[in-house]
Structure 1
């Protein structure tokens, strides 16, 4: 790792109380295809591609991009005591976030999380992403951070001392509680007024404030933290749904407050169309990925411009409500504009821009509450003269809303059925290895746990074999990764043919490692299957320029356990791994069996 000698390490000992922004000191690498893996990071062909200087003060901001990005930084602890620091990735809407640390023995320690992963995957239970970093005395550690995002790609990186970070989380929780407590009070108060007066404008305000609060909760990671609904598309798009509904209900609230149907009939049709657009457009978001994100941002800006034009018309007509709504909308529009520009990477990320929507929303809630109070007084003064007309209009609108609700309910049911079908397909895909078509590691882990419990009840043994392709890196180096992929597919085809029982599981364990799980079979039975795999591979005789045998070969480690006698799944895996290691140590292209007493038996 020649780059490591020249890489500038960050001194992790003196950290300011407000944390240390490390973005300008972090090197970054774009991975357009998302194909790079942690073990490739220190290799010369990859390490030199990292570029410094891409992180401006505050954050890395690449707008909307389908690429994955890798970030590399080195921390130095020259003191006599071990240190713990906290890496704060301060943007809650990142789809995939993974931290990797490569040990000297080649192992990779990783923590993988993100907004599409379960909240329990986060090492620190917080609305954003935070990782504890441990540094031994007189040591340097290099860390790699892989990030991918369906929405805006904003990666603020800040280093904290643990105690300071806890205070930061407490202060952040207080700030969030202040805003959402204010929103809850506004919702409850105006809902009670609606129940008392039966004036729909108050209900529109309740919907608007609720939608805006939900959108900001999604953007700030609070929906993920406090709502257990886990589908990846929901986690990625919760705030987008909230913003769409907030714009729709906000426009509807404006229509009611300014009475655009009577005062601005030409504009009212456009407003009504936009209300429906923003109500219905979230139905397509789960299926479009990043395709509609930038166009949607443009439509959001268009909605702001249309609303501004309507408010200006109301001001020209000297409508009292237009003055209130104009100032309130200006506060929210300013926050929304900053938010959109930040998402597109056009403005820097800091405390003000990161919380622009909450600041604007809080101001707007107060101003709109004043507008409602003024509106209430105006309605009381005009109630007697307009009572008949308002009742007729209310009847027509209720009928229209009922028809619309029926149509919307039907569409929601159709979308729900379609989403259920897609979710079933995604569930099947999540249990299958994309390269080889056999079971993946997730499927294997679940099957091993289930079979272990079944064997504990039945008293039967359970055996497994770990298989590793000999000198596979050399194979890739000589023949290329496409040939390597084809080699792995051919091997898995042999394994699948060699396993006859439907209860056995053949899975890709990781990289060029595979596993065969054989419940109810002792090691001798599994040995026959493994010997058959070796023989079939020898007959196949795939040329291997980097192998001592001239053809592709495999090494295998077999272990057997009886759960009723004690032990654990982890112990069984460790014994099989030890047997595999001994097989490779003794020359490869052989099978080694882990005896129950702790010994190892090699089979040439």
Structure 2
């Protein structure tokens, strides 16, 4: 209970504190420190000069709006009694970034207690979710205390004076109410999380994120997050508040799209809500670097989001959508609470129990109504599912009859189609083994045959020869004559190599301008002769190549021969042939080089 003090800028008598809190906001004298540089002695001098004056309409708290200025507040507390008065001064806004409390000692020297939402919880003079300072007033004396407040967000400073027993009782009741709210939020979150896991419907996931983010936002706003979640964190209170609000707003937009089926009903609004959700998800990056200048606009963005989504719900209700009625009722409550809280942040409404907790009250009602909405949606989906199942059974019966009537015809068609596919597959298999440009075997066919011959010759104990050929200076040829001429060159080389190979050999295009010959049962001298025949055959084509040393197209050959065994490998054979090919190029091209035998 708040007992208003109607006389401004006067000493507050301690005996005025009874069963509840005494709102001392009207008794506060205020001095604005625009650049935040004033010291206490300078403030005392300004006070003596009469520059500290009360603010009009300060009942239930000072609403100073979004400002970077620091404000100094003076409060006089008078004790006309015969005993020391032990009081507690409460600043009931846990999100004020910095609050300094100056109280004089017996010698008249002021001591400072510095705390605030951006400082660790351990700096609190009293372990409380709000900023509470102990105050002792000697008998028959007047105590003058000063507060310095500064914040990165909207600056609202509600100040009350309590007797300790009254504050303890109020705190107990207050925490019970918060426990009720967060208990209900947790129940809604867990229940819908289970539905999300069971049904795999994203709408329940969006609702879970929305409820969780909203609860975290309100916990940050109430000071509970700083007290219980991150008591040692710096500058986290306001950042967590705006971050949770943005994540909740994003989930809010995505939930709306799913709940109201805007993709079907309002396609443009559907895309707009998705864009708005993306803005909210990116907003925390801005908060981290510039929360002070954007806090005002963030608050307006939240308000715009609530109004926009409520308008969408109203339109769907106008279209007589069942989900629109629930949605409008639920988020209408949230919209009213948001409007009240936002108006209080800008100083448009006074600070009282309703305006302070407007969003929380709206959130409570919204959770309950949305729970009914989701339950109704689930029942509606179940009814639609049953109807669809009945239709499906009927359709299946008709389909069975149709299938029975045409079973024989379909079987014949399938058999015919199977034969056609077999023929096509055989053709494709053959085509897949041939290089499309040269008409000889491709790399895939080469790999298969090489592996097969290696295994066969290993059992037989016979040699396997591999010849690698590369067209000399082909890039120059291609650049000079063009790609079409280059293709014709490769085709001619492939035919020349094939013409000097045995029927048991395999000539393949290895890649680019490289060719290979697999010669099973061929020893070193035989393989060398075969490679030389291929080299001579290509040179004999006489294809002009003005950029080559021979002035005609030639090839270089690398030959490797081995008897496959457990100590050898295909990779070694390929490597030997490749090394021999590079040696042939190094020796001047248009020649054949035989690699050293494997293991030799």
State if a TM-score over 0.5 links the two structures: yes
* TM-fit CA distance, 1:317: 2.3
- Is 1:221 aligned with 2:223? yes
The alpha-carbon deviation at position 239 of structure 1 amounts to: 1.1
The equivalent residue for 1:359 is 361
Deviation (angstroms), 1:305:
2.9
Task: Please give the per-residue CA displacement for 1:376-400, whole angstroms capped at 9, x wherever unaligned.
Answer: 011112236779xxxxxxxxxxxxx
Superposed, 1:48-87 pairs within 5 Å as: 48-54=50-56, 56-87=58-89
Of 113, 116, 124, 1:114 maps to: 116
Seen in structure 2, the aligned counterparts of structure 1 residues 47 and 228 have a Cα distance that, compared at 3 Å, is: farther
Q: In the alignment, which residue of structure 1 is the partner of 2:270?
A: 268
Q: Which residue of 2 aligns with 1:575?
A: none
Alignment of 1:27-426 (within 5 A): 27-43=29-45, 47-54=49-56, 56-103=58-105, 105=107, 107-228=109-230, 230-383=232-385
TM-score, length basis structure 1: 0.61
Hey, what's the Cα distance between the residues in 2 that align with 1:78 and 1:218?
39
Partners of 1:380 and 1:166 lie apart in 2 by 51
Q: Is the 8 A contact 1:186 1:365 kept in 2?
A: yes
Q: CA deviation at 1:52?
A: 1.9
SS of the residue corresponding to residue 153 of structure 1 reads: strand
Change (3 A) 1:256 1:386: farther
Q: Tell me how far 1:7 sits from its aligned partner.
A: 7.4
1:245 deviation in Å?
A: 1.1
- Identify the residue that residue 501 of structure 1 maps to in structure 2: none
Find the aligned partners of 1:26 and 1:44 in 2 and give their Cα distance.
15
Query: Which ranges of structure 1 fall in alignment gaps of 5 or more residues?
Result: 1-5, 388-604
Alignment of 1:450-469 (within 5 A): none
Cα shift at 1:231: 4.3
Distance 1:113 1:330 in 2: 37
How much does 1:103 deviate? 4.0
Distance 2:95 2:230 in 1: 16
Q: Over aligned residue pairs, what C-alpha RMSD do you find?
A: 1.9
1:229: how far off? 6.1
1:26–1:55 CA contact under 8 A, matched in 2? no
Post-superposition shift, 1:149? 0.9
CA separation in 2, counterparts of 1:44 and 1:347? 30
Normalised by the length of structure 2, the TM-score is 0.61
- The one-character-per-residue Cα deviations of 1:389-440 (angstroms, maximum 9, x if unpaired) are xxxxxxxxxxxxxxxxxxxxxxxxxxxxxxxxxxxxxxxxxxxxxxxxxxxx
Query: Residues 7 and 183 (structure 1 numbering): CA distance in 2 closer, same or farther, change over 3 Å?
Result: closer
Offset of 1:172 from its aligned partner? 0.8
Q: 1:44 to 1:152 in 2, by over 3 A?
A: closer
Deviation at 1:47, TM superposition (A): 4.6
**Do the aligned partners of 1:152 and 1:344 also contact (CA within 8 Å) in 2?**
yes
Whether contact under 8 Å (2:189, 2:212) holds in the other structure is: yes
Q: Is the Cα–Cα contact under 8 Å of residues 93 and 221 in structure 1 kept in the other structure? A: yes
Taking a change above 3 Å as real, the CA distance of residues 55 and 318 of structure 1, as seen in their structure-2 partners, is: closer
Number of residue pairs matched?
382
Residue 98 of structure 1 contacts residue 110 of structure 1 at CA under 8 Å; is this kept in 2?
yes
CA drift of 1:38 comes to 1.7
Tell me the distance in 1 between the aligned counterparts of 2:318 and 2:34.
51
SS of equivalent to 2:119: coil
Q: CA deviation at 1:128?
A: 0.8
Q: Measure how far apart 1:115 and its partner are.
A: 0.4
C-alpha displacement at 1:212, in angstroms? 0.7
Does structure 2 retain, via aligned residues, the 8 Å contact 1:91–1:128? Answer: yes
Q: Is the 8 A contact 1:26 1:71 kept in 2?
A: yes
Q: Deviations over 1:69-98 (max 9, x none)?
A: 010011111221111001011111100011
The structure-2 alpha-carbon separation of the partners of 1:266 and 1:53, relative to structure 1 and needing over 3 Å to count, comes to closer
CA apart distance, 1:179: 0.6
Range moving further from structure 2, 195-204 or 144-153: 195-204
Partner of 1:450: none
Instruction: Report Cα offsets for 1:212-257 as digits up to 9, x if no partner.
Output: 1111111111111111264433222211111111111111111111
Q: CA deviation at 1:101?
A: 1.7
Query: How much has 1:112 moved relative to structure 2?
Result: 0.6
Q: Name the counterpart of 2:12.
A: 10
| SS, match of residue 62 in structure 1 | strand
Larger Rg: 2
Contact 1:233 1:286 (8 Å CA) reproduced:
no
